């Protein structure tokens, strides 16, 4: 089963989410749809759509003004969360170890973490992209995670939000590296999503690349006229 995840970033209202949930619920698809929304919009999903947060705290509770815990997210009815998205890593100064703490808290609270990894353009140009991604997986997955408890998203940071799409061989190479790394770590049941500049036009080609189990969609997940065709074309 393919996974189509949307990331609304800092966009959207409750009324827009109502509309999107209704639209997604009307699509006949075998794909699993996940929508990552701002904290203020979190709620339970339904059989057709999982509602997810965009991050959770490293901490359990306490004096962390502005932070939101995994337990609090789970209490809204949401069932998943992004962790380690490049925008959040940059804004919060997260290392891979920080991301692993967030992912562990998600798992502890029955949330499925979608752990994002990816290389910058500088890292790619220096030829260290593969190492960064390999380390991203090794260090951002919590030590005690078990098979099936998390999802990985490969997000080339040089392409996100820029309308740039890597070539199919570039995506295939990086997904192969991620799959091999997960195998070495003993995880043979981990979906690996591709995320950056996914549209209704390119989703079918991308999702059929070897070792791509789904997509994480930013800009094109905001409007139903963009997101619904992505779900439809993903079969
Ligand atoms: P984009 O964003 O689809 O707008 O490139 C992807 C993401 O940040 O998850």
Residue 3 phi/psi, 5-degree rounding, is -115, 130
Q: Residues with catalytic annotation?
A: 85, 155
Q: How far is CA 108 from CA 101, 103, 185, in A?
A: 10, 9, 20
Residue 112 region, left (φ>0) first, then alpha (ψ -120 to 50), else beta?
beta
Q: Is the pLDDT of residue 212 over 90?
A: yes
Q: How confident is the model at residue 57 (pLDDT cuts 50, 70, 90)?
A: very high
Tell me the pLDDT of the chain averaged across its residues: 97
Which residue out of 6, 158, 196, 206 has the highest number of ligand 1 atoms within 8 Å of its CB and is therefore the one to mutate?
A: 196
CA distance 182 to 139: 11
For residue 202, the CA-to-ligand 1 centroid distance in Å is: 14
Question: What's the pLDDT at 24?
Answer: 97
Scan for tokens 């901490």, then name that residue. Answer: 59
Taking Cα atoms as reference points, which of 210, 195, 187 lies closest to residue 138? 187
Residue 122 region, left (φ>0) first, then alpha (ψ -120 to 50), else beta?
alpha
Residues above pLDDT 90, as percent of the chain? 97
Q: Give 69-126 pLDDT, tens digit per residue.
A: 999 999 999 999 999 999 999 999 999 999 999 999 999 999 999 999 999 999 999 9
Contacting residues for 16 by C-beta, under 8 A, at least 6 apart: none
DSSP string of the chain, one letter each residue = --EEEEE--S---HHHHHHHHHHHHTS--SSEEEEE--GGG----BTTEEEEES---SSSSSS-TT---HHHHHHTT--EEEES-HHHHHHHT--HHHHHHHHHHHHHTT-EEEEEE---HHHHHHT-HHHHHHHHHHHHS-TT--TTS-EEEE--TTTTTTT----HHHHHHHHHHHHHHHHHHT--S--EEEESS--TTTHHHHHTSTT--EEEESGGGSSHHHHHHHHHHT-
Q: How confident is the model at residue 220 (pLDDT cuts 50, 70, 90)?
A: very high
Which numbered atom of ligand 1 lies nearest the CA of 87?
8
For residue 161, the CA-to-ligand 1 centroid distance in Å is: 5
Supply the pTM of this predicted model: 0.97
Q: How confident is the model at residue 158 (pLDDT cuts 50, 70, 90)?
A: very high
Domain boundaries 3-233, corresponding CATH code: 3.20.20.70
Domain boundaries, the chain: 3-233
For residue 206, the CA-to-ligand 1 centroid distance in Å is: 14
């Amino acid at each position: 089963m393919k996974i189509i995840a949307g990331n609304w970033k800092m966009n959207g209202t409750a009324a827009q989410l109502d509309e999107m949930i209704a639209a997604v619920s009307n699509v006949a698809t075998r794909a699993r749809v996940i929508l990552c929304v701002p904290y203020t919009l979190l709620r339970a999903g339904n059989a057709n759509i999982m509602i997810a947060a965009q991050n959770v705290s490293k901490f359990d509770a306490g004096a962390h003004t502005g932070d939101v815990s995994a337990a609090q997210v789970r209490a809204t009815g949401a069932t998943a969360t992004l962790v380690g998205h490049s925008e959040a890593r940059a804004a919060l100064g997260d290392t891979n170890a920080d991301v692993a703490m967030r992912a562990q808290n998600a798992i502890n609270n029955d949330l499925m973490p979608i752990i994002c990894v990816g290389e910058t353009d500088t890292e790619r140009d220096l030829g260290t992209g593969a190492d960064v991604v390999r380390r991203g997986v090794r260090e951002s997955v919590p030590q005690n995670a078990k098979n099936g408890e998390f999802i990985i998203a490969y997000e080339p940071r040089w392409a996100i939000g820029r309308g740039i799409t890597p070539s199919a061989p570039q995506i295939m190479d990086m997904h192969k590296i991620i799959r091999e790394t997960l195998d070495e770590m003993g995880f043979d049941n981990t979906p690996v999503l591709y995320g950056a500049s996914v549209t209704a036009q390119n989703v079918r080609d991308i999702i059929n690349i070897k070792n791509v189990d789904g997509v994480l969609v930013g800009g094109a997940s905001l409007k139903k006229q963009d997101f619904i065709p992505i779900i439809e074309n993903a079969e």
